[in-house]
């Protein structure tokens, strides 16, 4: 009888855990890049714990009709691919996790972060 109750309790707990929504995959840390505003001011944008596994068009520079962002710096725990074009198209470069800042000559419009621990 005790074994049956223990098994039932364990199965109930497992069912509850499996029913909980999974956490969304996100890189942990910050990714930054710079861009120049319409008024000629340099701004820096930070993506904190960015979503992984999907293409992200970057704020203010994610359209091919505006000047690209530049100088990306990946301080997250996952590698990222940065793209020269919007929608993760065009020339691409890999930036390692917890890397050094890239040169300002590296232009970026969109990014895709690897899934954590991949």
pLDDT(116) > 70: yes
Residue 9 located in a structural domain: no
Residue 15 located in a structural domain: no
The confidence band for 16, taking pLDDT boundaries of 50, 70 and 90, is: very low
Q: Report d(CA 41, CA 50) in Å as an integer.
A: 25
How many domains are there within the chain?
A: 1
Find the mean pLDDT for residues 62-74: 95
Instruction: Look over the chain and give the mean of its residue pLDDT values, rounded to a whole number.
Output: 84
* Residue span of the structural domain in which 78 resides: 29-113
CATH code, domain with 107: 2.60.20.10
**Dmax (CA) of the chain:** 76
Q: Is the separation of the CB atoms in 113 and 49 below 8 Å? A: no
Residue 72 located in a structural domain: yes
What are the distances in angstroms from CA 86 to CA 1, 2, 50, 67, 83? Answer: 62, 61, 17, 11, 7
Residue 65 located in a structural domain: yes
Residue 3 located in a structural domain: no
Residue 104 located in a structural domain: yes
């Amino acid at each position: 009888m005790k074994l049956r109750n223990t098994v039932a309790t364990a199965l109930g707990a497992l069912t509850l855990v499996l029913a909980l929504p999974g956490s969304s995959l996100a890189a942990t840390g910050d990714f930054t890049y710079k861009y120049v505003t319409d008024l000629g001011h340099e701004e820096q944008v930070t993506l904190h714990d960015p979503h992984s596994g999907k293409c992200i068009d970057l704020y203010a520079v994610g359209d091919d009709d505006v000047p690209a962002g530049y100088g990306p710096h990946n301080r997250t725990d996952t590698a990222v691919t940065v793209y020269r074009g919007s929608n993760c198209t065009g020339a691409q470069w890999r930036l390692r996790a917890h890397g050094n800042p890239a040169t300002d000559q590296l232009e970026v419009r969109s990014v895709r972060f690897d899934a954590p621990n991949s």
